Amino acid sequence: MTESPPEAPAPSAAAGLAERFGKMVGALSATGDFGTARIRVSPDRWVETHRTLAEHLPFFSFLSAIDWAGEVAVGDPPEGDVEERFEVFTRLSDVSKGEGVIVSTDLSKEDPRLATLVEVFGGANWHEREAHEMFGIFFEGHPHLENLYLPDGFEGHPLRKTFPLLSREVKPWPGMVDVEDMPTTENVEAGEPEAWEEGE
Amino acid sequence: MTDQHLLAMHHSEVQVSVELETPDVTLNLGPQHPSTHGVLRLIAKVDGEVINEVEPVIGYMHRGYEKLAEVRTYPQIVALVSRIDWVSGYASEVPLMVAVERLMDIVPPDRAQYIRLVLTEMARISSHLVFLSSYPLELGAPTPLMHALRERERILDLIEMVTGGRFHPNFNRVGGVKPAAGAGSNQKKVVQDLPEGFLGQTLAAIQDVVGVCDDMEDLVLGNEIFLERTKGVGIIPVDKALAYGVSGPNLRASGVRFDIRKTDDYLPYDGFDFDIPAGENGDCFDRYWVRLQEIREASKIIRQAVETMPSGDLQAKVPRIIKVPKGEVYVRAENPKGEMGYHVVSEGGRGPYRLKIRSASFSNLSVLPWLLKGQLVPDIIAILGSLDFVLGDVDR
Amino acid sequence: MTALLDNFWVLLALKVLIIAAVVPGVALVFIFAELKISAHMQSRIGPYFAGGRWGWAQPLADGIKFMQKEDLVPEDADRPVFKFAPMVVLMGTLAVFVIVPFSPKLIVRDLDIGVFYALAAGSVTTIGVLMAGWSSANKYSLMGGLRAAAQLIAYELPLVLAVVGVVIQAGTMSMNGIVVAQIEPVFHIGEVAIRLPFLLQGQVIGFAIFMIAALAELNRTPFDMPIAESELVMGYLTEYSGIRFTMFFLAEYAGMFSMSAIAATLFLGGYYLPGVPEGALDVLGPLILMAKVTLLVFIIIWLRWTFPRLREDQLQSLAWRWLIPLALANIAVTAVAKVVL
């Protein structure tokens, strides 16, 4: 959008945090953009990583996944090329200083399998069930990997990018018939000063 | 009776086990049940009144917000997220907006941040008052409900005064707070600020809320039967709470003195003087007590915020079209129910590529199968109620 | 006229008619009282429109509404039992009124074993509750019914034991005899005869135990576990609708009436009030008794809207560990005092 992309508010603290925990578990990468510490590990070190981190970050916040896809059925596709993969990520934090880190790993789309975290964090149970039904990721060793939200026998994995949003297919988004047409992306990008209009 | 019947009877008699066993009865609570706060279903295997196993069945309220968010722009998502936890709708909007602002490197003006803070705390009070009133009802005492809801009404009126909505304010914009005052050219003419008399009325209402807290302390916490029903019931030890992601007042009741308001900087809480109440045993009583004290602390925060409310704009300068640069950010907030977080994955579009909503009630409820094992049927309700969940917050 | 009244059957029919008309009428008044009292305790107004003034016709309107509703019977229910259960409950409640003396003469039958009869007839309602719970083919109902039965066993004992103190003191089990015993002067100060109800003659503990056990018998808060709408939906009432639900509903308030009437008779002097000449009791007696009953009913309502509900095991331990030993001690003390004094 603008020439100079905005910088993250406090990259140093989060980056330092990511670095510290990344070293602890031998992460593939550690970033602290936008004040969010993130480390990436390989799938086979998934459980071990969490077991190590649990001693420092005992609070299990959530587990979820992202479907990275070049072609999407709904929404906007990502800018540029992305590697086709599922990214599973969890967030762990402590309950004293407010430190926390997002741990992620990449899974292939052909055979998305990952070891379960239930042994390490009991709370992973429901989160993994959700990720299973929404993305079709299998968590090996999960005690009860059944649908959590979706009815039994539901076909497809709704949060995959290939899953169409049926209501949009049937009926156009009612927001389109607004009083005033939404300004198009083109004219905003063309006229730079108007884009950063007064916020009143 | 035919011979076959006799034979069948004979066989069935032979097969009777010598040992006396009482098979578990499956008791189905919900999805339509007075105490499941909506459409939660619990499949309980009970032996008499003792529970052997409970399986919560959720998803009756699942609206797929994470998918819906992918086809909406950021300002449109605000309308969705205030419906996640409808008891404190306003509080859910703030962390999402903060996340978007972090990605865009926008800092809202002080006044906007203070208004957000005041309304968030009001949402906290309104949510906790619902808990304080409905929990005794679940234990069979209907009177506190009326007393607490009477004061909650004042808080809702104040929220309505500013935002126009009681449950779903939809009041946050990227870069600040501002109600849409009509579309198009009309939007530029109307200058909106806090309504006249709002600050004064807030102080008066806060006074009454603290008054009703005193009443509740006498009425409920001083009641012998209430103590009998809640003390030592449904204890969540700290390690279980952490492993299950139990957060907010439920975690603090277990004795963890941790509050995201003190550690994170999504709103300017660092300038305020307030305590973090924490329980000792992590039982139902502590969970009630902690929420009662949190109302007092929230009142303290609101009073300070009203007294030091800065003047200025309500909105930072933002582009006409909100396009968010590429990046991932996780912002969490101390919501009335616990840790509410949004993991926004932006690919540079007008809406998120992926929005993970971390809602507090979901994790708080996930501890239930562990917690209810071996309890009595009446304690299902006592424990369930004390977790203070909202089904919209569980199912999203 | 008198000849007609002397005929046993005519008199009986008349008495039955009076009870069948008066008791539900009074129950309706108590329902209205509960609506209004609870409303004012919760800073509400309560019924306001039905009947014009104060919404006095609300219970009537509710009753008519209930009667219009379909009388549903669950498919798997044990039909005859299911249909009969509310009648048993109502019958048990009404049967108690046989021995309640409203005035020296206004009593259906002054049985020699009046107290015993009252307690026995009162516990018949629990059989009806158990029938309702069992026949509904509903797990909530069943649990409610079983809870009611467990509660009956636990609380019938303290109830009976609390009454024994009064019986010892009065030396009779006839209800009228007990009232007469309370009219007897306890002692004299100069010329003035001091007449005291048994409550003030040392049966305070007995009265407290009786009222607590009566609450449990009536399934009223804090002992309303058989209904416990937050756990068991409506307990044994879950599957009932229409007229049969009305019968349960009416029986609850009629039960409040009968229990309060027994308590008033046993402990508060029944139809007698010190200072009222004995000749006027025939006329004033019913009014005096009703005043006492109303007071007790008010206390019952007051408790309901103040307390949460106990847990089933806590209720049992309260009965067996506190009420029964206390009641036994009360009997011992009363007996000793009776002999010594």
What would the pLDDT profile of C68-116 be if each residue is shown by its tens digit?
888 888 888 888 888 888 888 888 888 888 888 887 777 777 778 888 8
Q: Given an 8 Å threshold on Cβ–Cβ distance, is A199 in contact with B183? A: no
pLDDT at A200 over 50: no
Give the neighbours of chain B: at least 3 Cβ pairs within 8 Å. Answer: A, C
Alpha-helical segments (H) within chain C: 2-6, 8-41, 58-68, 79-95, 114-122, 124-135, 139-170, 175-183, 204-218, 229-232, 242-267, 281-304, 312-317, 324-340
Instruction: Give the mean pLDDT of B141-162.
Output: 85
Q: A75 and B353 in contact (C-beta within 8 Å)?
A: yes
Listed in sequence order, the residues at least 6 apart from B351 whose beta carbon sits closer than 8 Å to its beta carbon are A75, A76, B69, B70, B71, B72, B73, B74, B76, B77
A38 shares contact with chain B (CB less than 8 Å)? yes
Q: Quick one: pLDDT at residue B190? A: 53
DSSP H/E element including A15: helix A11-25
In a domain, A47, yes or no: yes
Domain count of the fold of chain B: 1
Q: Quick one: pLDDT at residue C1? A: 53
A184: confidence class by pLDDT, cuts 50, 70, 90: low
Q: C173 and C112 in contact (C-beta within 8 Å)?
A: yes
Which residue of C139, C224, C312 is in closest CB contact with B27? C139
User: In Å, how far is B353's CA from the nearest CA of chain A?
Assistant: 7
Tell me the CA distances in angstroms from B245 to A53, B62, B358, C45, one per residue in order.
15, 20, 10, 44
CATH number of the domain to which A119 belongs: 3.30.460.80
A66 shares contact with chain B (CB less than 8 Å)? yes
Residues of B in contact with A6 (CB under 8 A): 103-106, 325
What phi and psi, each to the nearest 5 degrees, are found at residue B230?
-110, -30
pLDDT at A94 over 80: yes
Q: A38 and A49 in contact (C-beta within 8 Å)?
A: no
Handedness of CA C37, C38, C40, C44 (dihedral sign): negative
**What is the torsion angle, in degrees rounded to the nearest 10, for the CA atoms of residue A45, residue A48, residue A52 and residue A53?**
60
In a domain, B40, yes or no: no
Q: C157 and C324 in contact (C-beta within 8 Å)?
A: yes
Distance CA A98, CA B269 (A): 14
Which residue of A59, A79, A150 is in closest CB contact with B348? A79
Only one residue has tokens 């219970």, namely C59
Which residue of C230, C305, C313 is in closest CB contact with B376? C313
Q: Which of these ranges, B127-136, B208-217, C183-192, has the smallest mean pLDDT? A: C183-192
C156: confidence class by pLDDT, cuts 50, 70, 90: confident
Only one residue has tokens 């804090």, namely C222
Residues of B in contact with A38 (CB under 8 A): 328
Burial B229-241 (b: 16+ CB within 10 A, else e): bbeebbbbeeebb
Residue B273 neighbours by CB distance under 10 Å: 8
CA C62 to chain centre: 22
Of B191, B238, B242, B259, which to mutate for an interface test with A (greatest number of A Cβ within 10 Å)?
B242
DSSP class of C23: H
Q: From B260, which residue of chain A is nearest by alpha-carbon distance?
A: A98
B residues 35..64 contacting C (CB < 8 A): 35, 49
Residue A134 neighbours by CB distance under 10 Å: 24
Q: Quick one: pLDDT at residue B189? A: 52
Strand partners of residue B333: B340
Of A93, A102, A128, A187, which to mutate for an interface test with B (greatest number of B Cβ within 10 Å)?
A93
Distance CA C282, CA B21 (A): 62
CA A127 to chain centre: 13
Which one has a higher pLDDT value, B191 or B245? B245
Residue A39, classed as helix, strand or coil, is: strand
Q: Quick one: pLDDT at residue A173? A: 60
B90 shares contact with chain C (CB less than 8 Å)? no
Strand partners of residue C331: none
Which residue of C305, C306, C311 is in closest CB contact with B376? C311
Residues of C in contact with B232 (CB under 8 A): none
The candidate with the shortest Cα–Cα distance to A31, out of A42, A41, A16, is A16
B3: confidence class by pLDDT, cuts 50, 70, 90: low
Only one residue has tokens 């990275």, namely A68
The candidate with the shortest Cα–Cα distance to C27, out of C293, C252, C295, is C252
Domain count of the fold of chain A: 1
Distance CA B302, CA B121 (A): 7
Residues of B in contact with C224 (CB under 8 A): 140
Only one residue has tokens 């809207």, namely C305
pLDDT at C13 over 60: yes
The candidate with the shortest Cα–Cα distance to A117, out of A130, A109, A127, is A127
B105 shares contact with chain A (CB less than 8 Å)? yes
A9 shares contact with chain B (CB less than 8 Å)? yes
Distance CA B31, CA B12 (A): 36
B100 shares contact with chain A (CB less than 8 Å)? no
In a domain, B315, yes or no: yes
Distance CA C126, CA A145 (A): 46
pLDDT at B10 over 60: no
In a domain, B9, yes or no: no
Distance CA B122, CA B151 (A): 12
Distance CA C217, CA C127 (A): 12
Q: Which domain holds residue A45?
A: 13-165
Residues of C in contact with B141 (CB under 8 A): 221, 305-309
Residues of A in contact with B348 (CB under 8 A): 1, 78-79
Only one residue has tokens 């009865």, namely B25
In a domain, B147, yes or no: yes
How do residues B349-388 score in pLDDT, each as one tens digit?
778 888 899 888 888 888 888 888 888 888 888 888 888 8
User: In Å, how far is C163's CA from the nearest CA of chain B?
Assistant: 26
Which residue of C42, C140, C231 is in closest CB contact with B378? C231
Distance CA B269, CA B263 (A): 9
In a domain, A114, yes or no: yes
pLDDT averaged over every residue in chain A: 75
Question: What is the residue type of C10?
Answer: V
Q: Which of these ranges, A187-191, B9-13, B102-106, C307-311, has the smallest mean pLDDT? A: A187-191
Listed in sequence order, the residues at least 6 apart from C50 whose beta carbon sits closer than 8 Å to its beta carbon are C56, C57, C58, C60, C61
pTM over 0.90: no
C153: confidence class by pLDDT, cuts 50, 70, 90: confident
Q: Quick one: pLDDT at residue A188? A: 45
User: In Å, how far is A52's CA from the nearest CA of chain B?
Assistant: 14
B67 shares contact with chain A (CB less than 8 Å)? yes
Q: Given an 8 Å threshold on Cβ–Cβ distance, is C228 in contact with B378? A: yes
Residue A114, classed as helix, strand or coil, is: strand
Which one has a higher pLDDT value, B241 or C282? B241
pLDDT averaged over every residue in chain B: 82
In a domain, B35, yes or no: no
Q: B291 and B249 in contact (C-beta within 8 Å)?
A: yes
Q: Which domain holds residue B116?
A: 65-394
Residue A138, classed as helix, strand or coil, is: strand
pLDDT at A185 over 70: no
Distance CA B139, CA B221 (A): 13
Residues of B in contact with C140 (CB under 8 A): 27
Contact between chain A and chain C (3 or more Cβ pairs less than 8 Å apart) = no
Listed in sequence order, the residues at least 6 apart from C75 whose beta carbon sits closer than 8 Å to its beta carbon are C137
Give the neighbours of chain A: at least 3 Cβ pairs within 8 Å. Answer: B
| 3-state helix/strand/coil string of chain B | CCHHHHHHHHHHHHHCCCCCCCCCEEEEECCCCCCCCCCCEEEEEEECCEEEEEEEECCCCCCCHHHHHHCCCHHHHHHHHCCCCHHHHHHHHHHHHHHHHHHHCCCCCHHHHHHHHHHHHHHHHHHHHHHHHHHHHHCCCCHHHHHHHHHHHHHHHHHHHHHCCCCCCCCEECCEECCCCCCCCHHHHCCCCCCCCHHHHHHHHHHHHHHHHHHHHHHHHCCHHHHHHHCCCCCCCHHHHHHCCCCCHHHHHCCCCCCHHHHCCCCCHHHCCCCCCCCCCCCHHHHHHHHHHHHHHHHHHHHHHHHCCCCCCCECCCCCCCCCCCEEEEEEEEECCEEEEEEEEECCCCCCCEEEEECHHHHHHHCHHHHHCCCEHHHHHHHHHHCCCCHHHHHC
Question: What is the residue type of B206?
Answer: I
Interior CA angle at B103 toward B74 and A26, to 5°?
Answer: 125
Only one residue has tokens 């409808």, namely B86
Instruction: Give the mean pLDDT of A122-146.
Output: 87
CATH number of the domain to which B345 belongs: 1.10.645.10
Distance CA B261, CA C88 (A): 60
In a domain, B55, yes or no: no
% pLDDT > 70, chain C: 97
Listed in sequence order, the residues at least 6 apart from C1 whose beta carbon sits closer than 8 Å to its beta carbon are none
DSSP class of A184: P
pLDDT at B54 over 60: yes
pLDDT at C192 over 80: no
Q: Given an 8 Å threshold on Cβ–Cβ distance, is B354 in contact with A66? A: yes
% pLDDT > 90, chain B: 2
Q: From B35, which residue of chain C is nearest by alpha-carbon distance?
A: C230
Residues of C in contact with B137 (CB under 8 A): 230
Give the B:C interface size as CB pairs under 8 Å.
80
B149 shares contact with chain C (CB less than 8 Å)? no
Q: Quick one: pLDDT at residue C313? A: 81
Q: Rank A1-5, B45-49, C194-198 by mean pLDDT and report only the highest.
A: B45-49
Listed in sequence order, the residues at least 6 apart from B14 whose beta carbon sits closer than 8 Å to its beta carbon are none
Q: Given an 8 Å threshold on Cβ–Cβ distance, is A34 in contact with B345? A: no
In a domain, B244, yes or no: yes
Residues of A in contact with B263 (CB under 8 A): 97-98
Residue A48, classed as helix, strand or coil, is: helix
Residues of C in contact with B142 (CB under 8 A): 38, 42, 305
| 3-state helix/strand/coil string of B127-196 | HHHHHHHHHHHHCCCCHHHHHHHHHHHHHHHHHHHHHCCCCCCCCEECCEECCCCCCCCHHHHCCCCCCC
In a domain, A57, yes or no: yes
Q: Quick one: pLDDT at residue C137? A: 82
Give the neighbours of chain C: at least 3 Cβ pairs within 8 Å. Answer: B
Residues of B in contact with C309 (CB under 8 A): 139-141, 225, 229, 378
CA B139 to chain centre: 20
In a domain, B4, yes or no: no
User: In Å, how far is C295's CA from the nearest CA of chain B?
Assistant: 21
